[in-house]
Structures are given as C-alpha cells and as structure tokens.
Amino acid sequence: MSTAANTREPERTAARRFFVETWGCQMNERDSQRLTGALMEEGLLPTREPAEADVILLNSCSVREKAEQKVYSRLGRYRRLKSDRPGLVIGLCGCVAQEAGERALSRVPDLDFVLGPGRVAEIREALERRRKGERPVLTGFPAERDYAFDSISRESSFKGMVTIVEGCDKNCTFCIVPQTRGPERSRGMAEILDEVRHLVDFGFSEIELLGQTVNHWRQPGGEEDFADLLNAVARTPGVARLRFVTSYPRDFTDRMVEQFGRHPNICPALHLPVQSGSDPVLQRMGRGYSADAYRELARRLKATRPGVALSTDIIVGFPGETEEDFALTLQLLEELEFAQVFAFTYSPRPGTAAPRLGGDVEPEEAAERLQRLFALQEPIQRRLNEALVGEHVEVVVTGLGKRPGMLTGRTSCHRVVHFEPDPSLVSGLGSSTVPLKAGRLTSVVVRQAYAHSLLAEPIARVA
Ligand code: SAH
Ligand code: F3S
C-alpha cells in the first residue's frame, strides 16, 4: 500500500463491504462486473445486504423516464442508511450518472460521487477523491478506453460477456443511449479473441458478444466486419454456445446471415428490435429501414436457421402513431411470430428529437394499445412453445428453481425451462445432495408449455 494509506482515517481502512445494484441492459450488467472486480481488487468484499455495505453503487438506466425516477427514490432509501453508518459511501453509476452529472449531487445531498459509463475504469479514483473530501463527478468519454478484462468479476460461472462495440452512433429519435454511452467504438479483433480464449480457459462455455449495435462492429483501421468476427469467435475451440446482442436490422448483411447459418454453436436465437410495423413511424424514429425490409431479413434468417427464435423490441404510442400504424405493428407480430417481444410505451427523453415531432399519443391510449399487443402476443408465444412439447432439448443450468428440488435453465434458443434433475445425473456428480451445477449442460424432454417458460423432465439416460 502507498504512503497515502497513512493519511487515511482509521475507520476507512475498515471499510470492507460493497453492494452493487444493477438496472438496465447487458452493457450495465457487464459494467457492474467491472466495478465489482475493481472493488474486490481493492480488498472489499461483496454483500447482498445494502445495510451491511460501506460502499453502495447504483448502476442506473435512463432509457425510459420511469427507470430514472426509480433511481432517485432508491438513492433516497440508501442515504437513510447513512444515519446508522456515517462512513457509508454512495456512488451513482450508469446512464443516469452520465446524463445528470452535477445535477445528481444537488438533487441528492448525501450522494458521494457520480461515475458515468465511459469512466467505469476510474472507480478507484472516484473513491480516492471522495476519501480526500471531494464529491467527484466523472462523466464523458475519454479517447482511450481501458478494458482490463482479467479483473472483471464474472457473475455467472458459465456465461462470459464480451463487449465488442461501445456507444452508439445511430441517433434513433427516441433514444437517449447515444448521449449516455457516447460515440460508437469497436474493439480490436485480437483483443476480443484474447478475452474469449481467456474465458474458455477459465471454463466459461457460453460467450455473449455485446454492443448497442453489435453487428455494426468493424475492425479499427481494417477491413473485417462482424461476419468475420462471428466466424473467428465461433471457431474458437471451447466456445459451446455463442450469442450476440443487440443486432441492428439495417446492419445485418448477407455474409452475417450466412455465418449465422453455418456454425452450430451460434445459438439459434436472435434479438432484432423492429420498434414498429409502420413505415411512416419507422421513418420518424430514424431507423433507416422499412417494415418490408425487416420482414425480408427475418425470412432469410428463418430460412438459414430453421427453428430460430427471433425476439424483438416494440415502442407503442410513438408521437404520431395512428390506430392504422399500430394495426400494422400487430400485423407484423402476427406474421413473424416472435418467440419473445419486449414492448414499452414511448417515453420522451431529454436531448432527443422525438419530443419535438408533435402528434403525441395520450398515455391512456398508449397503455391500452400495449395491452392489446400483449393480448395478441401471448397466445403466439404459447403456441410456439407448445410445438416443443415432446421434444428433447439441451439446457444450460442457470440456477435453482422456484420450488425445492427444481432447477431452472435455458435452451440454446434462450427459452426458460423448469425441470427436476435426473437423480442418476445428480448422484453421478458424486453425492445425491449435490444438484447439477449452474453452467452444466443437460438434456430434458419438454412436457408442458406456457407463454413464458417450459416445464420439462430429464431424459432417462442410456448407458
Ligand atoms: N440497441 C439497444 C437499444 C437500447 S434501448 C438494445 O437493444 O439493447 C432498448 C430498447 O428500449 C429499444 O430497443 C427500445 O425499444 C426501447 N426504448 C428506447 N428508448 C425508448 C423510449 N424513449 N421510450 C420507450 N422505449 C424506449
Ligand atoms: Fe438507441 Fe437506436 Fe442506438 S435504439 S442504442 S440509438 S440503435
């Protein structure tokens, strides 16, 4: 430890526990893993109990207004813990940190520091400056980014998330992400493959490539694009399952479709946000594709990879959305039969173009459309899941089930499966009390289907 340690207040050296709460997308999840890794390297230990923590980090999301409001009420709850723990340090991280900056400090008097998504690598500096009595605000996007992937604390024992593209240059008119995550930057292929090999060496079987527009990856200063990267990662020995989120429809090329069809270890699941089924709405959103171009891409993907589970995002009640526009969205959902749909009512965000478009849809109307959308989608999902009844599927165990003795897992197409482990498999692991561990692959037969999950039984094992 450096000489600076001598000047620290004694109680600080006893600050041993931290709690990180994460909201929002996979990028935030991955940033929390980096924050956790850095704090553990500093000698702090994680706790699941905020009341026990000496450092609390809230890794926030600002994509919709509701999520942002929740941040402030949660911070209010954390600051009340300070009356029992005067040394408690509370940091606001994530997209609300970037967006609010100094404002967050005046709004939350006991907030100790603000750390934006572009500055995650500087968590130690933030804590150090706080120790010296400052309330630092670290936001913005430095030109040099530090990935330090060997000090990431991977939460899962089998799924390793690998950032390949940071930020976003698309400027969809509703979206705050380009402001909160900064301009798009691709990481070099050599470094990405190094991280993938590092994960495989440590026993991770599932690799998830991350980016707001993951398929817009380009080799910095080179020719290779996402099709080449996908090919290289899929060929890396030990990569049993490969996923990537989130793909931007307009950036999906024929070469990418081809790679998607070629490698069996690329999971037959693809998240491809469409947002709306109406061309005028898509145009006002600035998405740069038509509903028909999206349909065509979806058809090609389904033809290349039969059984692929497509999922999508929809925004309902975007400014100017008429009943006819909305009917076109419902029609698209009926036609394309998505395995999963993440739908939200439009939420105006500061600094974006959409709030100035006019033609606002009444919140009650938008909420009612959202309900109609769910009512249409639920039976579609149930029907797709019912087609799997009787099928043998391979699941990766993700954790314990809701009921005692049950486990939960995911199929390669990302469906949630609840099942009782095969007793022979359990005892095969050495003890009848040891359940199948998270990260293990096992085969099950689907017995019942619901809209959002499957119920399965183990397959009696031959030999
Ligand atoms: N490329 C990113 C997009 C991040 S935002 C990704 O898909 O991970 C995730 C989703 O949130 C978007 O696809 C969109 O459907 C929704 N969303 C973004 N801004 C929104 C807003 N202002 N109101 C409602 N939903 C929004
Ligand atoms: Fe947002 Fe559009 Fe980028 S949804 S993250 S601006 S692709």
How far is 361 from 367, CA to CA, in rounded Å?
Answer: 10
CATH of domain 392-462: 2.40.50.140
For residue 233, pLDDT beyond 90: yes
DSSP state for residue 218 in the 8-state scheme: B
Closest residue by Cα to atom 2, ligand 2, is 172
DSSP state for residue 334 in the 8-state scheme: H
The β-bridge relationship of strands 89-94 and 55-60 is parallel
Atom of ligand 1 minimally distant from the CA of 176: 19
Say if residues 228 and 191 touch (Cβ distance below 8 Å). Answer: no
Closest residue by Cα to atom 15, ligand 1, is 313
Residue 246 is encoded by which pair of tokens?
A: 């989130």
**Ligand 2 pocket check for 178: Cβ under 6 Å:** yes
107: number of CA atoms within 13 Å, CB side? 16
How far is 324 from 19, CA to CA, in rounded Å?
Answer: 47
**Ligand 2 pocket check for 245: Cβ under 6 Å:** no
Atom of ligand 1 minimally distant from the CA of 347: 23
pTM equals: 0.90
Rounded to 10 deg, the angle between the 26-41 and 123-131 helix axes is: 50
Sheet holding 137-138, edge to edge: 45-46, 17-22, 55-60, 89-94, 113-115, 137-138
Q: What is the pLDDT of residues 215-224, one digit of tens each?
A: 999 999 999 9
The β-bridge relationship of strands 45-46 and 17-22 is parallel
Closest residue by Cα to atom 1, ligand 2, is 175
- Give residues with Cβ within 8 angstroms of 231, minimum separation 6: 259, 262, 263
Q: What is the pLDDT of residues 76-114, one digit of tens each?
A: 999 999 999 989 999 999 999 999 999 999 999 999 999
How far is 85 from 45, CA to CA, in rounded Å?
Answer: 17
Atom of ligand 1 minimally distant from the CA of 174: 22
Q: Residue 439's pLDDT band (boundaries 50, 70, 90)?
A: confident
Atom of ligand 1 minimally distant from the CA of 25: 8
CATH of domain 149-386: 3.80.30.20
- Which of 26, 212, 252, 274 to mutate to test ligand 2, by most ligand atoms within 8 A of the CB atom? 212
Across the range 2-6, mean pLDDT stands at 44
CA of 176 to the centre of ligand 2 (A): 8
CA of 181 to the centre of ligand 2 (A): 10
Q: Domain-by-domain residue ranges, the chain?
A: 17-138, 149-386, 392-462
Q: Residue 423's pLDDT band (boundaries 50, 70, 90)?
A: low
Hey, what CATH topology would domain 17-138 get?
Answer: Rossmann fold (3.40.50)
Q: What is the pLDDT of residues 16-43, one digit of tens each?
A: 899 999 999 999 999 999 999 999 999 9
Closest residue by Cα to atom 5, ligand 1, is 63
Atom of ligand 2 minimally distant from the CA of 176: 1
Closest residue by Cα to atom 11, ligand 1, is 63
CA of 215 to the centre of ligand 2 (A): 13
Question: Residue 169 CA to chain centroid, in angstroms?
Answer: 19
- The pLDDT score that the predictor gives to residue 460 is 62
- The pLDDT score that the predictor gives to residue 345 is 98
CB atoms within 10 A of CB 151: 14
